[in-house]
Structure 1
Amino acid sequence: MENIVTEEASSVVEPFIGMEFESEEAAKSFYDSYAKSTGFVMRVDAFRRSTRDGTVVWRKLVCNKEGFRRSRPRRSESRKPRAITREGCKALIVVKKDKSAKWIVTKFVKEHNHPLLSLLANARRSSHISQSPDKKDAKIRELSTELSRERGRCAALQQQLDMVLNVMEEHANHLSVNINNVIQSVREIESNTFTKSLS
């Protein structure tokens, strides 16, 4: 029972054969989290259905660089060829539903045949850290200038908004006075009519 992994499982745990999940979605969620923390993108691949009730009982989850793209004739010579996203990566897990309705990892391939995103991100982070102080100061000044410019724009917009609100308030007050005058006139007319009818 200690091998069962829920959807909230930690993404740092490495899959292993025999690992159990409460559902297919829990297995997908776990491998997706593992993929993100490791530095690749998961893709939901093949599946098999039960011959008895048609439900999915076997699922393969792979790296998005699994397999190779099918070569198709180009429609036009002027079109640029699409970037190669499939590199024949073998990394995957296979989960199978057992008789107790648990999903069990029956196959796990860890190795990728391409650089992982986390390694590339670390390299980029290192290059940012190694920037000279002069470059950092220049970037700070640039961002400060942009922030000051945006604050100025916000102040100008606020001033315009206040002017519009003042005009709207004056207009509302003017309408209120006119409505009160109309009501007063109607009352006077009604009063005069009532007085004439009595006489």
Structure 2
Amino acid sequence: MWPNTTQVLFSGRHLRYVCCSAYVIRIIVDDEELSMSKDEDVLESSNGKDAVTSEGNLDAEPFVGMEFETEEAAKVFYDAYATQVGFIMRVDAFRRSMRDGKVVWRRLVCNKEGFRKMRAKRTENRKPRAITREGCKAMIVVKKDKSGKWVVTRFIKEHNHPLVGTPANGRRSMLLSQTPDEKDLKIRELTAELQRERKRSATYQEQLDMVLREMEQHSNHLSRNIDGIVQSVKEIESKRVAPSNG
């Protein structure tokens, strides 16, 4: 049994975007959520190959139509494939379903995908960090289908950089061979992902507080209306009783 991944549930089917501090946190596209502001590739459909569940064979090469029971199984497979081929996998962008907030689309890339953002040069003398991102396009994209399985919808095999020879003792040796800059980059990526989740949680809390305030205001308004109606009924009844007593 593969471990369950952590899910962040979200309700509000008709919401199309959420703004916080004057910038868009999330963008909803076709009932799914794009978690990052990066340019996304259009999802490709299956190429018609017979679907094959390949979780047990970690030495296989990915192909469009390959199936996995869970998202975690797809990650484990591509991570093992990356180790076998000679690169490091990075968990990249994902999308959520507006129906239940669960992840339904995931992109797994080479850790040399993209380019480092250019920052203003600092005055102090510092040793420049090694270039760890080279715009590599290698990736797989997996999408959850109606049956609940995760299907590979895109696979790019080619890398634009030399691959590391497969170490004798597998992943551990490969991790130990990482440079300090690569380890620092991984820490920054994990920190950034944590910050995004915190912002997402803060946005949900802000929405919930807003809904609760509106409900309270509406309740107070109804209470005032009911009090007014009761008072009017009492006045009408008192006017009817007064002539009969006279």
Query: SS where residue 36 of structure 1 aligns?
Result: helix
1:35 is matched with which residue? Answer: 82
Q: How much does 1:112 deviate?
A: 0.2
For residues 27 and 107 of structure 1, the distance between their equivalents in structure 2, rounded to whole angstroms, comes to 13
Query: SS where residue 141 of structure 2 aligns?
Result: strand
1:5 is matched with which residue? Answer: 54
1:106 is aligned to 2:153: yes
The one of 62, 65, 73 aligned to 2:120: 73
Aligned 8 A contact 1:5 1:26 in 2: no
Figure out how many residues of one structure are paired with residues of the other and give that number.
119
For residues 77 and 85 of structure 1, the distance between their equivalents in structure 2, rounded to whole angstroms, comes to 22
For residues 19 and 96 of structure 1, the distance between their equivalents in structure 2, rounded to whole angstroms, comes to 11
Query: SS where residue 26 of structure 1 aligns?
Result: helix
AA of the residue aligned to 2:152: V
Aligned 8 A contact 2:95 2:104 in 1: yes
Root-mean-square deviation (CA, aligned residues, Å) is 1.8
More helix by share: 1
For residues 2 and 93 of structure 1, the distance between their equivalents in structure 2, rounded to whole angstroms, comes to 16
Q: How much does 1:76 deviate?
A: 3.4
Q: Within 5 A, what are the aligned runs for 1:98-177?
A: 98-118=145-165
Q: Percent same amino acid at aligned positions?
A: 68
Q: TM-score, normalization: structure 1?
A: 0.57
Please give the per-residue CA displacement for 1:3-40, whole angstroms capped at 9, x wherever unaligned. 1133xx23320000000000000000000000000000
Aligned 8 A contact 1:22 1:103 in 2: yes
Instruction: List 4+ stretches of structure 1 deviating above 3 A.
Output: none
1:93 is aligned to 2:157: no
Q: How much does 1:2 deviate?
A: 6.7
Q: How much does 1:75 deviate?
A: 2.9
1:82 is matched with which residue? Answer: 129
1:20 is matched with which residue? Answer: 67
